[in-house]
A and B are shown apart, each in its own frame.
Chain A
Amino acid sequence: MSELLKLSGLGKSFGRKRVLEDVSFALEPGRVYGFLGRNGEGKTTLARILLGVIPADRGEIVFKGETIRFRAAAYKREIGYIPEDPFFYGWMKVRELLRFNASFYPKWDADRVRVFSENLGLDPNARIGTLSRGQKLKLGFVAAVGAAPDLLILDDPTSGLDVPTRHDFLRGVIRDLADRGTAVLFATHMVHELERVADHLLILQGGRIILDRRFDEVKASARRVRLWFDGGAPEWPRIEGTLFVESEAGRIEAVVYPWNGAVEDGIKGLAPTRMEVETLSLEEIFVGFVGSGPARPVARS
């Protein structure tokens, strides 16, 4: 499948702080990309760079085969964006904002907007300033999908939605968009939500993409291993793919990705008295990759 968006070696610093070091990945049409990273890792910065809000210091962005320059704007007609806090002009009415928004997008799908607005219970005459955060998010969804974008960037917007709406949104809106060929880059901290919709997983850590794999492949290849020993636990050997190791008296717990025969043989070589191997949830995989303590750089496996 052809690439819709390709990032190569993207870097961005704010003053002395290097937020993005060397970000490279590609998105294909019709797929939902779960985009994970701890707070402050640069997910929002990356979204702003993709939207041309701020320039990257280095690297290249290719959208639909064309290199995107910082000051270009036309390509944004193909991109929908829903930020974490979808603020609009408070003095406008819902209808006014949608009309204002429509003027920027040649492919604006008014019928779709009407259907979504009705389904989400948006009052077209309501003043935006009076809407709740959840209603504003719904308006943001409608404004984004109305543009019939080829790429939809979601910057952790679902946290403000009530459970049924979030459920509808994930199942209905995102999946529907993906099925129509839209690539969805979905950054969220509600990792479990991704399990329902994600086709692919991207994890951003230390300014780099440390994981760029199909979701089912990650799910199938990540394992937690628990080992028990008589007496003291031996030193954990250099096993490729070790994401996490915790050792205490007579016991070792480790997360390994990818799990394969060579890894299993290596672990068995430690001669544990007991060994448990289990699959992981996405949340556990994410924690395995980025760690549970303070943010720390993890070598890409």
Chain B
Amino acid sequence: MNGQLILREWKEKFEIPLFALAFLLIFVVAALALAEQGDVLDILTGSILLVFLPMTAVLLGASAFIVEFKDGAWAYLFSRPVKKAVIWFSKFAALLMLLAGTLFVYYLVLSRVPGVRERIVEFRIPLVSGETFSLWGVCLTLSLSLFVIAFSLSCFSDKQIQDIFLSILVFAGFGLAFASVMKEILYWNPDFTFLIPVMWALVAISVGASSLVAFGRTDFSQPGAKIVGFLKSIVLFLAMSAVVVWAAIGIGARFRRITHIGLETSGRNAYIYLSRGLYRFDSERDSLKRLDGAPWLGWGGDISVGGGKVVWSHYSLVKKNGVRDEAQELWIIDEDENKRSIFRSSDVQIGPLSGHYLFNYCLSRDGRRIVFLSQPPGGQDSRILWSLNSDGSGLKNYNIGIPNLGSMYCLGWTADNKHVILNVWEKPPKDKSPQRRWLCKYSLESGAWQEFGENAWMSYLFGLSPKGDKFGAGFPLPAAQLPPPQGPSSPYGGRPELLSVYDLETLARTDIIQSSSFTIARWDPSGAKIAYLSNGGTRLGIYSIAEGKILSETALGPALKYFVDKSLTWAADGQKVALSDLEGSRYILRIFSENLKQDKIYPIPRGETLKTCPDVYGLGQKVLVFDFQSDRLWVFDLAKEKWRKLF
């Protein structure tokens, strides 16, 4: 860049930012006078940020070469001993600095004007994908994009007004193109929202680079050649940009922002399914292995482990012959790490699952069969149970004869690999009476079903024992049995007061502990003991199934601001108990020995920024801490007492 050229440009174009700053003064006076009139201030602020400043930017960009055209100074400029690229960049930098200075002054001033400041900070423009952009972000994107486009086009025409309108048209055209890419190809997937600024940046670079190339190869006497050169270049640059975007979508998917984490543990392994792909964390080797690439769209799918196998599903959305096909694919990895797709259901495919939404995949304990649920087209509350062999054969659906069946969810397989345990709801009553829910043991061989666990709580926070031979649940006591203050006036309002265990062979129920307000209970890896939190999460205990008694119990401190504000797991191969807990304003990991005497405390990384309690999962000598609020996964090494971020 050349300082003299920049200085000359500033002298030539300073009126534009000066005019913008004069307008700012008027706006500030108006904003102060109209501080009480919210709607007017909304319109004024929006107009300034979304119309006036972008228009200033386009005006500044379009003015770049206007004097050379008007005064015929091209020959003089080009015959100076400066490269044409330096001329282009010097002008660009000079005008960009003027624009940046203008925007900066606007930001400084507006962020200090009462009423306007709040609107700038708080107001966010929603996208179809559900994400939002700040008003300033949109203003900057609009202004910079329009500036670059207008600047790039300004060396082709001596008519500034033509450049301005053309720039707006080009901007709008690319905006529509992006919208159609997001809608038709990426289906407004929030995972790809990051592509919007990337696409704008690439277009700006393409337009700018094409302008530079055309500017460098031709002179003022050949407007036609310049435009042809520009069009040729921009086709090339845009094609390259499209390749970059395509690569970002496909190859670069593994580097995508994590928008969800699915986690399943089995033995000493954790299987982590996220928008970057499927990973296995081996707690013994402390290694992370990528088992599969990211699903095309990275939308959430299911993951299930059993019998040394892992199944997972993902969506693939493709358009063939003008028909949009939303397909779900089920993949499996065997013990020997052979990976294959075993099942595909699509919208356009003719078959029993055509148009169904498939979910809740559940692999049997021996890894031979998979059950899943489907929601048929238009059947909002309807669920159908299916099973499939793990080689993809033997698709079968089950007509469960439970009367008034509303919805259901599969909680897992029993030890015999012949039954599944379902959580079942009746159809919502029309008279607003409480919706009935219960558990169901369903035979996949005979289709017979047995109800149990009426009004069971904690099906997910207690549930199936590691071997699948027992099922734990919490139950509220009948109101009459509740002593105050845990009775009907209890602050936890009918929370489970009784922990029970069902023998899944006989469905015999054993009530094991009665206390107030259980929040979570966890089976130890052998299924012989249960760790639990009671009294609204303020009391930790361990219960022995074999001995039929509470082994130890300890108080954890005062009740927390949120009811379920702790997560519990067995750690160190069942020798210890790990708990995520709130200490002051930060979350910590507490490790207890089996007798609940020792209590080691480790601050959870970024624990002070969390608003909800992270989940903990014991895995050999490690504890996984899943901060689902911001989709981060940490691993804590109990032996080394060190944290490591997995994702």
Interface residues of A (CB under 8 A from B): 14-15, 48, 51-55, 71-77, 79, 81, 83, 85-91, 100-101, 103-105, 129
Contact = CB atoms under 8 A, between A and B. Distances in A.
B133 interface: no
A55 B214 CA distance: 12
Contact of B12 (A15, A72, A88, A89): A89
Q: Which 3 pairs across A and B sit closest by C-beta, in order of nearness?
A: A87-B72, A76-B81, A77-B81
Interface stretch (B107-115, B218-226, B519-527): B218-226
Contact of B71 (A71, A81, A90): A90
Interface stretch (B82-90, B120-128, B174-182): B82-90
B4 A55 contact: no
Contact of A85 (B8, B72, B217, B218): B72
A91 B63 CA distance: 15
A138 to B, nearest CB: 14
Contacts of A104: 4, 80-82
A71 B215 CA distance: 12
5 contacts: A53-B78, A53-B79, A85-B72, A87-B76, A88-B71
B561 interface: no
Given A51-B78, A76-B80, A105-B81, A89 B4 contact: no
B75 interface: yes
Contacts of A52: 78, 84
Nearest to A105: B81
B82 A53 contact: no
Contacts of B30: none
B12 A91 contact: yes
Contacts of A75: 81
Nearest to A80: B79
A168 to B, nearest CB: 23
A104 B77 CA distance: 11
Interface string B209-235: 000000011110110010000000000
Interface in B106-145: none
B219 A48 contact: yes
Nearest to B83: A73
B8 to A, nearest CB: 6
A155 to B, nearest CB: 9
Given A71-B85, A89-B71, 8 more contacts: A51-B79, A52-B84, A54-B219, A72-B83, A76-B81, A77-B81, A79-B79, A104-B81
B587 to A, nearest CB: 60
A240 to B, nearest CB: 39
Contacts of B225: 14-15
A238 to B, nearest CB: 42
Nearest to B81: A76
B76 A86 contact: yes
Most chain A CB inside 10 Å of its own CB: which residue of B67, B72, B81, B83: B81
Contacts of A105: 81
A24 B279 CA distance: 69
Contacts of B219: 48, 53-54
Given A54-B218, A100-B4, A89 B67 contact: yes
B67 A91 contact: yes
B606 interface: no
A275 B464 CA distance: 128
Contacts of A77: 81
Contacts of B78: 48, 51-53
Contacts of B4: 100, 103-104
A85 to B, nearest CB: 6
A9 B446 CA distance: 94
B432 interface: no
B430 interface: no
B18 interface: no
A261 to B, nearest CB: 47
A102 B87 CA distance: 16
A81 to B, nearest CB: 4
A71 B588 CA distance: 63
A39 to B, nearest CB: 14
B70 interface: yes
B73 A88 contact: yes
B222 A87 contact: no
A90 B70 contact: yes
B413 to A, nearest CB: 72
B76 A88 contact: yes
Given A53-B75, A85-B72, A90-B71, A71 B81 contact: no
A87 B71 contact: yes
A55 B222 contact: no
B4 to A, nearest CB: 4
Nearest to A103: B4
B520 to A, nearest CB: 71
B456 to A, nearest CB: 78
A55 B70 CA distance: 25
A87 B70 CA distance: 10
Contacts of A83: 75-76, 79
Interface in B141-156: none
Nearest to A54: B219
A87 B8 CA distance: 16
Nearest to A83: B75
B82 A71 contact: no
- Give the residue among A75, A87, A105 with the most B Cβ atoms within 10 A: A87
Contacts of B84: 52, 71
A290 B44 CA distance: 70
A135 to B, nearest CB: 15
A55 B219 CA distance: 10
Contacts of B85: 71
Interface in B1-34: 4, 8, 12
Nearest to B4: A103
Nearest to A153: B79
A72 B85 CA distance: 11
A91 to B, nearest CB: 7
A8 B431 CA distance: 99
Nearest to A55: B217
B81 A74 contact: yes
A221 B150 CA distance: 59
Contacts of A86: 75-76
Contacts of A79: 79, 81
Looking at A74, A83, A89, A101, the one whose CB has the most chain B CB atoms below 10 A away is: A89
Most chain B Cβ neighbours within 10 Å, of A75, A79, A83: A83
Interface hub of B67, B73, B79, B222 (most chain A Cβ within 10 A): B79
Nearest to A97: B76
A276 B49 CA distance: 85
A96 B184 CA distance: 56
A87 B85 CA distance: 22
A71 B70 contact: no
A73 B217 contact: no
A144 to B, nearest CB: 9
Contacts of A101: 80
A90 B71 CA distance: 6
B102 to A, nearest CB: 21
B524 to A, nearest CB: 74
B476 to A, nearest CB: 82
A87 B83 contact: no
